[in-house]
Structure 1
Amino acid sequence: MPERESEQKLDTRLQAVPIPGDLLRRLRGITVLTDEELDHRLRSVPTPRGLVERIRRVVADEETDRQLRDVPPRPQVVARARVIPMRRRRSAVGRLALAASMLIALGAGYFSALGGLLSIFRPTPRDPISVVFIDEGPLEIISPTDNTVTIVPTPGVDHLAVTPDGSISREPEFVLIQTIQSLDPGPAGELFQEIGTVWRPTDNWLLLRWGVLGYSYHETEVLPDLRTTTVPMARGIKAPLARGFDREFLYSRGINPPVLVASDGSSRSINAPLATDTSSLDLARRLIAEGRLPHPEQVHAEHFVAAMDYQYAPAKPGSLAIRTAAGASVFSPGAAGLVQIGVKAGVPDKRTLPATDLIVVLDTSNSMNWEGKLDAARRGLEGFVKHLGPDDRFSLIVFNDEVFHVVDEAGPDDAEEIVGLLEHLRARGGANLGSALQLALSAAFGNSSESQPARRLVLITDSVSALSRDESRAIEGMLRETALANFRFDVFDLSSEREPAGALVSLTAPSDGLVRSVRTADQVCWSLVETLTGDSSLVASEARLHVQFNPKAVAAYRLIGHEATDLGGLLPASVESDLRVGQEATALFEVWLYPNDENDVATVRLQWTEPESGQSRSAPEQRISRIQFATSFDGAPICLQAAAIAAEMGEILRQSFNFSVPSQNVYLFRPKPRSLDEVLTATRRVNRQLAERADFQRFVSLVERASRISTERRASLARAGARGIIRGRWRESRD
């Protein structure tokens, strides 16, 4: 049946279905319902069982969701969330292969097109004249053209030849073959020759026209050696990913803020670096002597703290010991306390060389002024004289244009006088190295001591270029003739070269000496100590100091110094340190305590690796209690007074802030004063024993000279304000 007919039959059947009688009435009744009737009918619909209970549970879940949203995320989750997902990239090898193939294809097409253009203008060379030599029979010359080659005999010269029958015949000798000049090229050939001679697109037309300008190099001249640039050093510690640490303040102002202990459990401990470097203070000394102050970014407060001699109680030989002190902060208006944690390395009981006569020849020529070389040598010698034993003797010869024997066989009791002499050394003039070494050798072998101690001669210089070849040979000869079993000549090279100069190696070879490359005052000091004792100066390697603060007693703490540089933020400096014989290292903290009866403030742990055995060792755990805190600066331990004054000078030069912590989630900051008047006032309040020490008096004189130099504070750091954790985020309000 067709589809259309079936649809008609279906419509007919549907139209024939009878309509119920009350359908129209019910439909009309729906349209006239009022709102009350509609609501009544809707309410009369039965509610499914359990619907009300499920709705109530949904409302309760919303309160749970709100509470979950207020829970702070873990730092590890935040750190992972900040990692931007990278889209899937192609393999590096595949991309490199694709780029190489495209480059080869483009290059081949380019050079093919260029070669085709050049081939149009390239003249076609003529075929060369071919010469055929025939071994048998008379000599014949075959050429494409006739009469192009003629044989010219030399007149008056005969050649003797032996015939088969043994007789001698004279024959003319042909000594020259002359080629007749080929035909001259036509007009087209001349054009191609001129194009090939004149048109050279790859030549530099400026050089062809004007010649080579500039300095002309001669074969007799010697080019200077290339010097490698130094990579910026990573400084500071890595900023912790803790809620209580305000990273925004550190990155915007370059100063470590207080760490709020109550905000996060990970904020309660820190691996404190053990600073022994003093390069920042050494730079400040040089600039202040020139009437300038260092730039704030050149100042590191931890270097000022490390430069002081705290005279901690000695440790056991071959081990490390923890030394602590605590008191009130005289410079902070926010009722902060200071906690000083020091580490002392022990001195061995025995050494390989019981007694040594050491003669140091120090270069004080003009070249030692560059890059602070003389200052590094002077500071290294100042630290070295503290390690002289009772049977050691120390002599010092300085030279520039002239030679001076300034110290002769001094002992450990003369250390302060030696330091005073070193302070007056200045670099000037040339370098009379030959006379200085001759005087030093005479002094080394002129001693007629019955004990015959070990003799050591050390040259500290940055170059031996002033030593002529004849003088060098003479010095080498003297060393060979006077070389004994207990004598050695070493050279400490202060130059920036990686490899020692050949002249230095040849000077030390006769006595089996060493050439040491030194850069800093610490390297000079410990190299001299190893030369004096004959032993390694390293006591502990990879020393790590861990401090755990008690959240019930400490509201906040702040590590003074150790701010990360730009490079340090990406590649932070290691918190592990190497400590040498008798060396001291100090970490200084500002702390804010709760006004309660909790006694334990912090716990200190120290671990290190023994250099010889490689075994891990640790010092006894030490506790810092509230009763250790001195109530005033005048009654604080001597070591804490020295550390506070040194740190405050560094903080002012770095343009740091005074901090206070009014509550557990808020801290206030205010710029430190520009002048050093408060530091000078504090130097007059220190303990009498500290005030009479020569090293402290030299530091006070440095503060006095710096206080006379005015400084301007950066506008970005001249504002005060408050920062706190509000709704899970650090926020700031300014005065």
Structure 2
Amino acid sequence: MAGRHSLRRLRLAAVMALATTLLAACSAGGDTNQSSSDSGKQAAPQYGGATGTPEGLAQGEATPDSTDQADRAAAAGETNTADRPVSTFAVDVDTASYSFAKRTLESGRRPAENTIRPEEFVNSFDQRYREPEGNGFSINTDGTRLPSTHRGADESARLLRVGLQTSTEAGGDRPDAALTFVVDVSGSMSEPGKLDLVQRGLHTLVGQLRPSDSVAIVSYSDKAQLLRPMTAVRERESLDQAIDRLKVSGSTNLEAGLRMGYDTARKGFRNSATNRVILLSDGLPNVGTTDSSALVKEIQEAASKQITLLGVGVGSDYGDRFMEQLADKGDGYVVYVSDQTEADRVFVQQLPATVALRALDAKAQVEFDPKTVLSYRLIGYDNRALSASQFRNDRVDGGEVGPGHAVTALYALHLRPGAEGHLADVRVRWQDPKTREPSELTQPITVTALNRDFAESPTPLRVSYVAAYLAEVLRSSRYAEEVRLNDLRTIAQDCGDTPQLRDLTAMITDAMSLYN
């Protein structure tokens, strides 16, 4: 055994002297065994220990083969589990990045790279997770090998999907809602598909609310105007009249609109109700405060007093980053409406569901086992990352999640040679929307769950892969070189023929003309 290790060390020294492009070709070797589940595949090197560790070495200690692998993983931008085994992030149900990118590509333009957030691409698709009972989440986990078309993927590479799901709304059990709509009526909203969509959507939404719910309407251009104070929905005629009075004029003083909106929401605050400010705008302020950070403190204070913010973005010219930052700090999220079909979905399905909540300040954490996982990378969630210590600090903001919402996180990772058994523990922590009492749920996952071939993996997992790596291409990340758009389109087409998948395939086709 010692002789074999010496030979490997000599080989490692030779490999280190070669160019990086030869590392993968020169680092293979050693005895291999194949289990029945891996029949027909090249297996990872196996060793004498019960968990695949070479004899005479501590569990998790680097071997020549795993050192080569660690070098490749580090080059791929992954985090070494020996250094940091825990990944923590605030959950995010935003989808605006995907919808806005779709509209931009349809117009023949490249989306701005800083508007692309992979997690919002993934969260735009139905994941078919099982639902929990009552408030809180179910945890759903699975994974796969990478497809053969994925460049540079070796036998140790895997994709892990972590899914959190809330229960759908049971009839009539939600609390009443007190909603303050803050509507941008500045000159930039005159473009077709902006204020006209908002007005039609608001009429539809008010018609779906309960008579015991209440609505206030604020508009803003150069200055803010209260069109209707908090009014019971049973007085629908007066609310419809206020919506019809929304007219385009002037500049965009978003600061004034939000300040009046929150002031109106505070005056109309209802205990035991869902109190929310809903901002409808193209997110392009040009008067007053035009920096989102200047508004964050007030928004955070309002959120701590249980007035949360939801953003609805509109228009081909759209301040995506501005709207996303406001919604994140307001314990809410942002959606984007590009046409009447999406407006129907948002105002008929999505917004009515947001008047109830399933979880406040929700956070997720994945603790990888260094014995089996060499390295990992969370795809997306770049501005939602938290430290491990913040997971159980309930003063740290997480995400707000409503009924029937799914949150998905994808991890690209590399296994250690011969890995088997425990892979990771997945945790989710949240506060009850009524009592603010924290709850926590943990679920383990094993290596076996990630060992299936990509073609045999569940359709939503394959769709998630396509969505995530399309986002990597659109934001020109270092990982864009690992995939080809034509391969992504083929995978999407093989996943079925639904409106969502047709949209995804069309997006990739549009991108191929701009990025190839």
With structure 1 as the length reference, what TM-score do the two structures score? 0.40
Identical residues among aligned pairs (%): 19
The answer to whether residue 479 in structure 2 is matched with residue 676 in structure 1 is no
Determine the structure 2 residue equivalent to 1:645: 466
Determine the structure 2 residue equivalent to 1:701: 506
The answer to whether residue 400 in structure 2 is matched with residue 578 in structure 1 is yes
Change (3 A) 1:303 1:486: closer
Q: Matches of 2:386 and 2:107 in 1, distance apart?
A: 30
Q: Matches of 2:472 and 2:402 in 1, distance apart?
A: 28
- Structure 1: stretches of 5+ with no match in the other structure: 1-243, 245-254, 382-395, 400-404, 410-439, 659-669, 712-735
Q: Matches of 2:350 and 2:468 in 1, distance apart?
A: 31
The counterpart of 1:604, out of the listed 422, 426, 435, is 426
Q: Matches of 2:279 and 2:168 in 1, distance apart?
A: 23
Whichever residue aligns with residue 365 of structure 2, its letter is H
Determine the structure 2 residue equivalent to 1:282: 99
Higher RCO (Cα < 8 Å, 6 or more apart): 2
The answer to whether residue 78 in structure 2 is matched with residue 258 in structure 1 is yes
CA displacement at 1:369 relative to structure 2: 6.4
CA displacement at 1:285 relative to structure 2: 2.4
CA RMSD after TM alignment? 5.4
Determine the structure 1 residue equivalent to 2:439: 617
Greater C-alpha radius of gyration: 1
8 Å Cα contact 1:347-1:582 kept in structure 2? yes
Q: How many residues of Structure 1 are paired with residues of Structure 2 in the alignment?
A: 359
CA displacement at 1:644 relative to structure 2: 0.3
CA displacement at 1:579 relative to structure 2: 1.6
Whichever residue aligns with residue 629 of structure 1, its letter is L
8 Å Cα contact 1:363-1:398 kept in structure 2? no
Q: Matches of 2:378 and 2:239 in 1, distance apart?
A: 44
- Three-state SS of the structure 2 residue aligned to 1:318 is coil
Q: Matches of 2:485 and 2:90 in 1, distance apart?
A: 27
The counterpart of 1:537, out of the listed 352, 356, 360, is 356
Q: Matches of 2:386 and 2:253 in 1, distance apart?
A: 23
CA shift digits 1:439-489 (9 cap, x unpaired): x9xxx7xx9xxxx97398989996589xxx9xx9xx99xx99x99568773
Q: Matches of 2:254 and 2:185 in 1, distance apart?
A: 19
Change (3 A) 1:273 1:512: closer
CA displacement at 1:577 relative to structure 2: 1.8
8 Å Cα contact 1:317-1:349 kept in structure 2? no
Q: Matches of 1:515 and 1:608 in 2, distance apart?
A: 19
The counterpart of 1:328, out of the listed 145, 156, 168, is 145
CA displacement at 1:544 relative to structure 2: 1.9
Q: Equivalences for 1:13-52 in 2 at 5 Å?
A: none
Change (3 A) 1:523 1:279: closer
CA shift digits 1:646-685 (9 cap, x unpaired): 0010111222335xxxxxxxxxxx9345x51121121123
Q: Matches of 1:616 and 1:341 in 2, distance apart?
A: 21
Determine the structure 2 residue equivalent to 1:313: 130
The answer to whether residue 378 in structure 2 is matched with residue 559 in structure 1 is yes
Q: Matches of 1:502 and 1:650 in 2, distance apart?
A: 34
Q: Matches of 1:312 and 1:586 in 2, distance apart?
A: 10
8 Å Cα contact 1:256-1:559 kept in structure 2? no
8 Å Cα contact 1:364-1:398 kept in structure 2? no
Change (3 A) 1:528 1:625: same
The counterpart of 2:239, out of the listed 480, 489, 497, is 489
8 Å Cα contact 1:552-1:598 kept in structure 2? no
8 Å Cα contact 2:152-2:482 kept in structure 1? no
Q: Equivalences for 1:221-232 in 2 at 5 Å?
A: none
CA shift digits 1:542-593 (9 cap, x unpaired): 222121111221121111123469x999xx9977222222211111101111
- Three-state SS of the structure 1 residue aligned to 2:433 is coil
Whichever residue aligns with residue 194 of structure 2, its letter is L
The answer to whether residue 279 in structure 2 is matched with residue 518 in structure 1 is yes
Q: Matches of 2:233 and 2:499 in 1, distance apart?
A: 39
Determine the structure 1 residue equivalent to 2:7: none
Q: Matches of 1:323 and 1:543 in 2, distance apart?
A: 16
Determine the structure 2 residue equivalent to 1:155: none
- Three-state SS of the structure 2 residue aligned to 1:286 is helix
- Three-state SS of the structure 2 residue aligned to 1:316 is coil
Q: Matches of 1:582 and 1:317 in 2, distance apart?
A: 11
Determine the structure 2 residue equivalent to 1:337: 158
- Three-state SS of the structure 2 residue aligned to 1:709 is helix
- Three-state SS of the structure 2 residue aligned to 1:302 is helix
Determine the structure 2 residue equivalent to 1:347: 168
Q: Matches of 2:113 and 2:233 in 1, distance apart?
A: 51
Determine the structure 2 residue equivalent to 1:549: 368
Whichever residue aligns with residue 705 of structure 1, its letter is D
Whichever residue aligns with residue 126 of structure 2, its letter is D
Change (3 A) 1:353 1:655: closer
Change (3 A) 1:456 1:307: same
Determine the structure 2 residue equivalent to 1:298: 115
Q: Matches of 2:135 and 2:258 in 1, distance apart?
A: 36
Q: Matches of 1:606 and 1:568 in 2, distance apart?
A: 13
Q: Equivalences for 1:336-485 in 2 at 5 Å?
A: 336-351=157-172, 367-368=188-189, 374=194, 397=200, 454=211, 484=234
Whichever residue aligns with residue 543 of structure 1, its letter is A
The answer to whether residue 475 in structure 2 is matched with residue 654 in structure 1 is yes
CA displacement at 1:602 relative to structure 2: 1.0
8 Å Cα contact 1:601-1:624 kept in structure 2? yes
With structure 2 as the length reference, what TM-score do the two structures score? 0.55
Whichever residue aligns with residue 709 of structure 1, its letter is L
Determine the structure 2 residue equivalent to 1:20: none
- Structure 2: stretches of 5+ with no match in the other structure: 1-61, 63-74, 281-310, 313-332, 336-344
